[in-house]
Amino acid sequence: MPKPVNPTLLQTHVMFMVLYLAGFFMERRPCAVCSLVFLSAVFLVCYSGLGSCIFWSNNCDNVRCDDG
């Protein structure tokens, strides 16, 4: 699912993605190893680079960063 271009829709997108993944885990009930692999992959994608996470955006172009 692509992130919305409009930054005001980002919170709605995050809520939708979290509910979608929670619904998937409740409906399909994947094995523990599969769940662990999936969650670790999401963690690595979210913390691998600036603005690459599917849940939130760390884009310093639109928002002034505190790093200077």
Which single residue is written with the structure tokens 């849940």?
A: 55
User: Is the pTM of the predicted complex or chain greater than 0.75?
Assistant: no
Stronger pLDDT, 50 or 34, i.e. the higher one: 34
The two three-digit tokens of residue 45, written as one number: 């994608």
Instruction: Tell me how far apart the alpha carbons of residues 67 and 2 are, in angstroms, rounded to a whole number.
Output: 27
Domain definitions of the chain by residue range: 16-48
pLDDT tens for each residue of 2-46: 767 777 787 788 888 889 988 988 898 889 999 899 889 888 877
In contact, 15 and 9? CB cutoff 8 Å: no
